[in-house]
A = this chain, B = another copy of it.
Amino acid sequence: MNIFALLTSAGINIGICALLLSLYSVLRKQPGNVSVYFGRRLAEQQNRSLDSFSLERFVPSPGWIVKAWKTSDEEILASAGLDAVAFVRMLVFSIRIFSIAAVVCLFGVLPLNYYGQYRHHVKIPSESLDVFTIANVEQGSRWLWVHCLALYIISCSAYVLLYFEYRRIAQMRLIHITQSSPNPSHFTVLVRSIPWPEEGSLSDVVHNFFTKYHASSYLSHQMIYRVGKVQKLMNDAEKVYKKVCLKANMMDQKHCPLKYRSGLCVEAANTSQLSHDEFDLSAKNKDLGLSDSTTKLQECAAAFVFFKTRYAAVIASEVLQSSNPMSWVTDLAPEPHDVHWSNLWIPYRQLWFRRIATRLASIVFMFLFIVPVTFVQGLSQLDQLQQAFPFLKGILKKKFMNQIVTGYLPSVIFVLFLYTVPPTMMLFSTLEGSFSRGGRKRSTCYKVLYFTIWNVFFANVLSGSIISQLNTISSPKEIPTQLAKAVPRQATFFITYVLTSGWASLSSEAIRLFSLIWNFTKKYIFGRKNDPTSVPSFPYHTEVPRVLLFGLLGFTCAILAPLILPFLLVYFLLGYVVYRNQILNVYVSKYETGGRMWPIAHNTTIFSLLLAQIIALGVFGVKKSPVASGFVIPLLIFTLLFSEYCRQRFRPIFEKFSAQDLIEMDKEDETCGRMDEIHQQLQSAYRQFSPDSDSSESAEDDGSIARDVDVKDCSN
> Which A468-485 residues sit within 8 Å CB-CB of chain B?
470-471, 474-478
Interface presence of A711 (CB below 8 A): no
Determine whether the beta carbon of A320 is less than 8 Å from that of B657. Answer: yes
Interface presence of A50 (CB below 8 A): no
Interface presence of A241 (CB below 8 A): no
Convert A617-650 into 0s and 1s, putting 1 for each residue whose CB lies closer than 8 angstroms to a CB of B: 0000000000000000000000011001100111
Determine whether the beta carbon of B213 is less than 8 Å from that of A663. Answer: yes
Determine whether the beta carbon of B653 is less than 8 Å from that of A325. Answer: yes
Interface presence of A64 (CB below 8 A): no
Scoring A477, A652, A660 by chain B CB atoms within 10 A of each residue's CB, the highest score goes to: A660
Determine whether the beta carbon of B644 is less than 8 Å from that of A356. Answer: yes
| Complex alpha-carbon distance, A689 and B641, angstroms | 36
**Segment touching B, from A118-126, A311-319, A576-584, A599-607:** A311-319
Q: Closest B-chain residue to A474, C-beta based?
A: B477
Determine whether the beta carbon of B652 is less than 8 Å from that of A320. Answer: yes
| Complex alpha-carbon distance, A174 and B478, angstroms | 49
Interface presence of A322 (CB below 8 A): yes
Determine whether the beta carbon of A352 is less than 8 Å from that of B644. Answer: yes
Interface presence of A658 (CB below 8 A): yes
Q: Which chain B residues border A661 with CB–CB below 8 Å?
A: 323
| Complex alpha-carbon distance, A674 and B326, angstroms | 32
Which residue from B320, B322, B352, B649 sits with its C-beta under 8 Å from A325?
Answer: B649
Determine whether the beta carbon of A658 is less than 8 Å from that of B475. Answer: no
| Complex alpha-carbon distance, A471 and B475, angstroms | 8
For chain A, which range describes its interface: under 10, 10 to 19, 20 to 34, or 35 or more residues?
35 or more
Determine whether the beta carbon of B352 is less than 8 Å from that of A648. Answer: yes
Determine whether the beta carbon of B356 is less than 8 Å from that of A323. Answer: no
Q: Closest B-chain residue to A477, C-beta based?
A: B474
Q: Which chain B residues border A320 with CB–CB below 8 Å?
A: 652, 656-659
Q: Closest B-chain residue to A470, C-beta based?
A: B477
Q: Chain B's nearest CB lies how many Å from the CB of A253? A: 44
Interface presence of A164 (CB below 8 A): no
| Complex alpha-carbon distance, A651 and B325, angstroms | 8
Q: Chain B's nearest CB lies how many Å from the CB of A186? A: 14
Determine whether the beta carbon of B323 is less than 8 Å from that of A641. Answer: no
| Complex alpha-carbon distance, A656 and B322, angstroms | 10
Interface presence of A365 (CB below 8 A): no
Q: Chain B's nearest CB lies how many Å from the CB of A461? A: 19
Determine whether the beta carbon of A353 is less than 8 Å from that of B641. Answer: yes
Interface presence of A321 (CB below 8 A): yes
| Complex alpha-carbon distance, A352 and B318, angstroms | 23
| Complex alpha-carbon distance, A660 and B322, angstroms | 5
Scoring A174, A651, A658 by chain B CB atoms within 10 A of each residue's CB, the highest score goes to: A658
Determine whether the beta carbon of B325 is less than 8 Å from that of A315. Answer: no
Q: Chain B's nearest CB lies how many Å from the CB of A351? A: 9
Q: Which chain B residues border A657 with CB–CB below 8 Å?
A: 320
Determine whether the beta carbon of B321 is less than 8 Å from that of A318. Answer: no
Q: Chain B's nearest CB lies how many Å from the CB of A656? A: 4
Q: Which chain B residues border A326 with CB–CB below 8 Å?
A: 648-649
> Which A329-362 residues sit within 8 Å CB-CB of chain B?
352-353, 356
Convert A657-691 into 0s and 1s, putting 1 for each residue whose CB lies closer than 8 angstroms to a CB of B: 11111010000000000000000000000000000
Instruction: Given A474-B476, A477-B474, verify A660-B353 contact (CB < 8 Å).
Output: no
Q: Chain B's nearest CB lies how many Å from the CB of A608? A: 21
Q: Closest B-chain residue to A312, C-beta based?
A: B315
| Complex alpha-carbon distance, A212 and B666, angstroms | 13
Determine whether the beta carbon of A650 is less than 8 Å from that of B318. Answer: no
Determine whether the beta carbon of B470 is less than 8 Å from that of A660. Answer: no
| Complex alpha-carbon distance, A477 and B323, angstroms | 41
Scoring A315, A328, A475, A659 by chain B CB atoms within 10 A of each residue's CB, the highest score goes to: A659
Determine whether the beta carbon of A213 is less than 8 Å from that of B651. Answer: no
Scoring A315, A321, A649, A652 by chain B CB atoms within 10 A of each residue's CB, the highest score goes to: A315
Q: Chain B's nearest CB lies how many Å from the CB of A367? A: 14
Q: Which chain B residues border A640 with CB–CB below 8 Å?
A: 356
| Complex alpha-carbon distance, A653 and B475, angstroms | 39
Q: Chain B's nearest CB lies how many Å from the CB of A345? A: 20
| Complex alpha-carbon distance, A641 and B357, angstroms | 10
| Complex alpha-carbon distance, A324 and B322, angstroms | 30
| Complex alpha-carbon distance, A328 and B661, angstroms | 13
Q: Chain B's nearest CB lies how many Å from the CB of A319? A: 5
Determine whether the beta carbon of B474 is less than 8 Å from that of A321. Answer: no
| Complex alpha-carbon distance, A352 and B641, angstroms | 9
Which residue from B315, B319, B659 sits with its C-beta under 8 Å from A213?
Answer: B659
Determine whether the beta carbon of A650 is less than 8 Å from that of B325. Answer: yes
Q: Chain B's nearest CB lies how many Å from the CB of A521? A: 47
| Complex alpha-carbon distance, A651 and B656, angstroms | 21
Q: Chain B's nearest CB lies how many Å from the CB of A534? A: 38
| Complex alpha-carbon distance, A606 and B642, angstroms | 34
Q: Chain B's nearest CB lies how many Å from the CB of A239? A: 38
Instruction: Given A213-B660, A213-B663, A476-B474, verify A648-B325 contact (CB < 8 Å).
Output: yes
Report A's interface with B, CB cutoff 8 A. 174, 212-213, 314-316, 318-326, 328, 352-353, 356, 470-471, 474-478, 640-641, 644-645, 648-653, 656-661, 663
Known interface pairs A174-B323, A318-B319, A474-B476; 4 further A-B residue pairs with C-beta atoms within 8 A, sorted by A's residue number: A319-B658, A322-B659, A352-B644, A356-B644
**5 tightest Cβ-Cβ pairs between the two chains A and B:** A474-B477, A325-B652, A475-B475, A320-B656, A323-B658
23 A/B residue pairs, CB under 8 Å, sorted by A: A174-B323, A213-B659, A213-B663, A315-B319, A318-B318, A319-B656, A320-B656, A320-B659, A321-B658, A321-B660, A322-B658, A323-B653, A323-B658, A323-B660, A325-B649, A325-B650, A352-B648, A356-B641, A471-B477, A474-B476, A474-B477, A474-B478, A475-B476
